[in-house]
Amino acid sequence: MHEFLIKYINSFATKPLNGSEIKLISNTFVPKKLRKRQYFLQEGEVCKYMAFIVKGAMRQYSVDDKGVEHIVHLSIENWWAGDRESYVMLTPSIYNIDTWEDTEMLLITRADMNELNQMPAITQMARKLDENHSIALQKRLNASISMSAEKRYTEFANCYPEFLQRFPQHMIASYLGITKETLSRIRTQAQKK
C-alpha cells in the first residue's frame, strides 16, 4: 500500500528515496480505511493527521448557520485530505471531512512529519505541495471573485474532468459556490450551444 506514496514522493524528489528512507516512511505513515460516508474529521475536533489518499474520494466542507453545507475541497487518489489550519495551529476545525467512496489512506501526524523533514525528498515534496496548494487556492479565489457561475463551472470541468465522474452534481455545485438547481440549469444551457 505504501508503494503509491513512495512513488508519489519520488515524483517530487531530485534523487529517489533509498531503502532505509523508504522503510522509515513506510513505518511512519499509518494505513487507515474508511467506508463510504464516514467522518475523517468533524467540526470542533483538532485535525491530528494529514491523509494521503491511496484509493477513494473525500470532501471537506463547512456548515453555515442555516445548516447548509459548503464544500471547500474535493480529493481523490494521490491527493491529500485534512484541514491545514487546524493541523498546523492545533485549533479546533470549522470543517468536516468525510469519505464519498470507500477510501484507503495513509496518515501522518504533524510531529512525525517534522521528523521526516530530515529527508531532503520529503522537504522538497512538502515545499512543492505548499506552493501548488497556494497557487490552486489563489486561482479559485480569483475565479470566485471575478467570474460568473457558468465560467467557473466550465473552467472546473476542463481542469478536473474526472471529478465530474466521481462526485454527484450537487457536490460540484456546492464546491463552485452555487446551488444544485443553478448548476443543473447551467448544464442544460451549455448543451444547447
Binding site for DNA (CB under 7 A): 66, 68, 148-150, 168-170, 177-185, 187-188
Q: Is 115 in the site for its own copies (CB under 8 A)?
A: no
How many binding residues for its own copies (CB under 8 A)?
A: 28
Rounded least distance, CB 132 to its own copies, Å = 9
Amino acid, res. 55: K
Nearer to its own copies (CB atom), residue 148 or residue 189? 148
Please list, in sequence order, all residues whose beta carbon lies within 8 angstroms of the beta carbon of residue 149, skipping any fewer than 6 positions away.
176, 177, 178, 182, 183, 186
3-state secondary structure of 159: helix
- 130, interface contact from its own copies, DNA, none, CB < 5-8 Å by kind: its own copies
The span from the CA of 9 to the CA of 126, in Å, is: 9
- 88, interface contact from DNA, its own copies, none, CB < 5-8 Å by kind: its own copies
Nearer to DNA (CB atom), residue 62 or residue 182? 182
Nearest Cα residue to 94 out of 47, 152, 25: 47
Rounded least distance, CB 110 to DNA, Å = 33
Q: DSSP strand E in the chain: where? A: 30-34, 39-41, 49-55, 57-63, 69-76, 80-81, 96-99, 103-109
Kindly state the cell numbers that stand for 109: 501526524
3-state secondary structure of 33: strand
Identify any residues that bridge with 165 across adjacent strands, giving them in sequence order: none
Q: Is 35 in the site for its own copies (CB under 8 A)?
A: no
Q: Is 85 in the site for its own copies (CB under 8 A)?
A: yes
- 126, interface contact from its own copies, DNA, none, CB < 5-8 Å by kind: its own copies
Q: Is 133 in the site for its own copies (CB under 8 A)?
A: yes
- Residue pair 98/63 in contact (Cβ under 8 Å)? The answer is no
Rounded least distance, CB 53 to DNA, Å = 19
Q: Is 46 in the site for its own copies (CB under 8 A)?
A: no
Residues of the shown chain interacting with its own copies in the complex, contacts defined by CB under 8 A:
62, 64, 68, 70, 72, 84-85, 88-89, 94, 126-127, 130-131, 133-135, 137-142, 144-147, 177
